[in-house]
Structure 1
């Protein structure tokens, strides 16, 4: 019983240095990381769990740390000439009774015996190997006093590892040179692929990969090891076509854990892995799928650090990995000091701690890209490893509300910028294009200004020339300005930003914001020189297609007969646009709307005024009605219609789902023909009222007027449409000669 208790006590005492080293290093790292802002302080229970984990790792590395401590003491004693007499316990003496010595000792030991007056003196540094010592006499006697300094023999020279073979040096140097060429020299053909693959695996550690093979050229002194890991055991099901036995599984588990213990806790591989994990944590835990890990610790850092972060929080994971790094650095430094001197050992310790921790610490603030993007309905500049990764946020004071769809989509995706100031400048220029307006757009053999109308020759030349807006023309320039980029953001970003600026300036020119009019923007005109190479702040031109012999500036036009927009109607209806717009009701009992469901535009709270004129639909049209309407583009079954009946009466209807209610009607026309035999002009308005209703008004020739205010659950999300209501016969055609809708 006493022997068992003594054995436990010896093991506990033997583990104390390792437990103390890793626990103190972990606690220090936790305090430093919290003070420097690498991560917030974890909860109390996570701190306790982190320190417990550090203690368990210390117990696992007890033998290695104790051996390293002995090495360091031996190296220090040998250099200083101080030879200590180590304490000898009952267990040490019991071992010597059998003629065996196990353990570590340094300095000179003098042991006197009672048999004959023999004196045995041992001088040297014991490295932990079992030695057989012939003994005689009474080993329980007291040791003599140590000899004076002048009588002591000089300590033996420290044993250095043998010089590696030239083959080993050549192979490691060749590997390092090949990696350097692949990862450091962009001109190598496969450098890009190799760098991408390496960064995926180890992130920023890829740039240090060429240095690591050089560490193998002159290996460190080997530490005591447990049973050697056998690569044959995992292959038993394939090689011997049988499953593992229980003993083999235990052997595989024990040897694997022993291998990992040595490689992670006491070797350079542990420093490398801990550094990759720290890179992942201090750079904001990037996601594996957004590419951010390539600029942190890579896949290896992600797999190592993420489980620790989920268990111990970021602060605890940083502290534990820092403790592991400090422990491995101390063991390596002691091993080097034993072979090459304490000065070299201290140097290795400093390098092994300062370089990884310094690089990981600096990477918390440096090496990020800046992206202009949206967050919580605001435009911000984020510093991160990818557009989705956020390390820090700078608010530009711009809100997303009111921005065009293309601009919102561009910012949602993330636009690369050079910094906070550059991002804020670009954001304001995109949101307010007028601040970056230019005087002139210079094309290929033509020049255009904002507000000018133009025509072109066509064909392959596409040569444009200025034309009067009150005559025939192809398009009208709505904005000329600079793209705000000083550095090339890429073709897709240039195209998206040009489109976004045109959409943002749309409302300033037309009077109706983009997205509240059927009139489409044409593709922006980019400078021809941009195809030859990038230049800062290129000038673009935005333009609208012509809808008639007049200017569109400030007209608040929402729809026009000549608009280049999908007119497609619903089932049972057909739309053709040759010289005029023809809507055909192919089946009886349908209501045809143009534009149809493909045009889903609706303006909440928007009011419209429409001017229309229809050709006669013919006497065979039966009970068909022609007119206009204000309908919800998202659901064309809801809205209001103004329909001219075969007898010429104007009827105002309200439609909600499958319910149709006539709200009011005008008198019969005076001295005006019905739509079946005469052309029918029509002016209608639908607009919201201050008290929450919708005012509906229609006029036509022959003193026809109908007006009503709908206050019974009014429909307020509306857009202008043409209407053909076919009651009896199929094949009715409504020809529209004038259709123009404006905002009121």
Structure 2
């Protein structure tokens, strides 16, 4: 047989072992759904990588096969007969003698002492929480090795079993020190020697020692747990930094399935070599036992990590609320659909879910998602505060400007707030104060529309801060309220705006807004258009219609050509929309604003038996609402048989919100006093 043929024959056992093990683990991970089947070219590349590792491990696997054959022969009680020469004659009168097994030497006492010290230190750091540096040590070691950090105290014990090694040169530890000691760079020959020695060392450690099993397990943990990122801490609950460094390059080249297969092949190969050594010394039963433990424990443990040990977060994804299982809020391992649509959820609730709300599992996520989306299902009868009790629909006042002591008062009397919802937060376990506060705000926003008739985010009326219990209780009861807007209850009114509301009325530059008893808008400069609420209030509702009831005090004869009235404007750009303006002679005019430039659409007749704004108070009712054919219908009424109507079908502005408006003429300092301003959705 030629030399090449002999080498090929010698490599066959190692190639078969590594290649078949790689293929088996790859197929198993695909069948179990741990990883998607890679493209055929990556499958071939993975098997080629396993074949090359088999070639590299030829000598080690041949030595292990020899050990295993020796163990089997020793148990059979006879040596194999050679190819040549007669078999030795056994004296029938003598008992059959089994060849003595080569027992490994006992480790030196120094080695035992060092290993024992290392084990004690690791046990104290990782398994004893009372040790002062336990937390720091655990954080550092889990960052480096992930979940494997918790079994680190056991691994040094494996060093007590001295595995045989093939003859090789000692690793040249002097070569890395050449630039320091000799003050020169390495020569080509030195770099080549260092690379060869390092390759031989790593080949032995990775393919024939427990080091290979440990490294393969770290890489498998990283892969089966969804390739977590270093940046969000997910690797600390997988294979740590070591697993990330080992598995990520393989995953990028071979895909997740291919990397799992190759690491599984390395693990099986190392386990087989170790098991052969154990079988040679202690028998084939011990060898098989070690092989089963060395292969099954890492593979089963890593495989179970694909489904177990994750945290669960309520998130939004593709228009639905889902439960995402992951190692961190940004990590995704598995997704469960709660069947709750995102459309219709309050903005604060969407923001809370976008951030990720931690739950205990899929069932808990389903329950919490449904409760947050429909707070009416978790309504409660009573909120009990500090020396006060409130129910939904009650109006209340409080004692003292900063006091939180509330008491119930009739809604047609003076009051500062109205309770819109009393109910339970759906938490059975404390998610933390930040999550409770965010969920309470989200529930108040979500229940807002059921009480007022207008969804939250489509009204100027603000929510007060939710009332919460002082400490944590299971399914805590909260109360939601809005600020008073007049001596009546708000329930079902569809009120969008009112004078008493606490909103940023602030106008743009050159205008001033004051809210003492009534609302005063002052045009401080000539030829300016003042709008209240101003640009700070950006609300605009697509396709919404509004009706506004207003009453203005006389602006005085000194106001000149100033006009007062209302507007339906795009909150994102107050230069677009429609205005309803009452001029000095009392005529109502309807304008369309485009880029701040007005174009008159309609006007009323002069008032009959009614005073104009400079000398008399002016009531006004205006409506802006979409029509069936896509236009905007605009209507304004006032006393004295004044009526103006228009329908805008030419590029109509369809994102609208109700506003007050003052347009002065040549003089500054014009004041518009508004005594009634109430807007409702139609």
**Residue among 728, 731, 736 paired with 2:666:** 728
CA distance in 1, matches of 2:195, 2:298: 31
1:546 deviates by 1.0
8 Å contact kept, 1:695–1:707: yes
CA distance in 1, matches of 2:474, 2:124: 34
Q: Aligned pair 1:342/2:284, yes or no?
A: yes
Aligned 1:281-320 pairs, distance under 5 A: 281-320=223-262
CA distance in 1, matches of 2:579, 2:167: 90
* 1:630 corresponds to: 568
1:253 deviates by 1.3
CA distance in 2, matches of 1:264, 1:538: 55
Aligned 1:708-719 pairs, distance under 5 A: 708-719=646-657
How does the TM-score come out when normalised to structure 2? 0.96
Aligned 1:431-580 pairs, distance under 5 A: 431-458=373-400, 461-528=403-470, 530=471, 534-580=472-518
3-state secondary structure, aligned to 1:67: helix
CA distance in 2, matches of 1:169, 1:341: 25
* 1:112 corresponds to: none
Aligned 1:4-403 pairs, distance under 5 A: 6-86=2-82, 144-150=85-91, 157-216=100-159, 218-403=160-345
8 Å contact kept, 1:265–1:324: yes
1:535 deviates by 2.2
CA distance in 1, matches of 2:497, 2:541: 13
Q: 1:346 to 1:627 in 2, by over 3 A?
A: same
8 Å contact kept, 1:639–1:654: yes
8 Å contact kept, 2:107–2:162: no
Greater shift, 7-16 or 422-431, is seen at: 7-16
8 Å contact kept, 1:220–1:336: no
CA distance in 2, matches of 1:236, 1:567: 76
CA distance in 1, matches of 2:576, 2:271: 75
* 1:92 corresponds to: none
* 2:679 corresponds to: 741
CA distance in 2, matches of 1:459, 1:611: 31
1:459 deviates by 5.5
CA distance in 2, matches of 1:212, 1:201: 15
**Residue among 686, 692, 696 paired with 2:630:** 692
Greater shift, 575-584 or 643-652, is seen at: 575-584
CA distance in 2, matches of 1:662, 1:239: 91
Give the gaps of 5 or more residues in structure 2: none
3-state secondary structure, aligned to 1:149: coil
3-state secondary structure, aligned to 1:10: helix
Q: Deviations over 1:638-676 (max 9, x none)?
A: 100011112221111001114320001111122322222
Question: What CA RMSD, in Å, does the superposition of the two structures yield over aligned residues?
Answer: 1.9
3-state secondary structure, aligned to 1:638: strand
Q: Deviations over 1:58-101 (max 9, x none)?
A: 011111111111122223323332212455xxxxxxxxxxxxxx
Q: Deviations over 1:98-149 (max 9, x none)?
A: xxxxxxxxxxxxxxxxxxxxxxxxxxxxxxxxxxxxxxxxxxxxx5423213
* 1:677 corresponds to: 615
CA distance in 2, matches of 1:569, 1:460: 28
The count of corresponding residues between Structure 1 and Structure 2 is 680
CA distance in 1, matches of 2:535, 2:495: 20
* 1:641 corresponds to: 579
CA distance in 2, matches of 1:236, 1:545: 79
8 Å contact kept, 2:78–2:98: no
1:156 deviates by 5.7
Greater shift, 189-198 or 247-256, is seen at: 189-198
8 Å contact kept, 1:588–1:730: yes
1:719 deviates by 0.1
8 Å contact kept, 1:286–1:385: yes
Give the gaps of 5 or more residues in structure 1: 88-142
**Residue among 539, 562, 571 paired with 1:601:** 539
Q: 1:16 to 1:739 in 2, by over 3 A?
A: same
Q: Deviations over 1:286-341 (max 9, x none)?
A: 23333322222122222212222222222221111111100000111112223333
Q: Deviations over 1:239-281 (max 9, x none)?
A: 4332221111111211221121111111101101111111122
CA distance in 1, matches of 2:579, 2:402: 46
Q: Deviations over 1:168-220 (max 9, x none)?
A: 3233223223222322333433323322222222211122112112222x132
CA distance in 2, matches of 1:668, 1:467: 45
CA distance in 2, matches of 1:576, 1:688: 32
Q: 1:494 to 1:356 in 2, by over 3 A?
A: same
* 2:644 corresponds to: 706
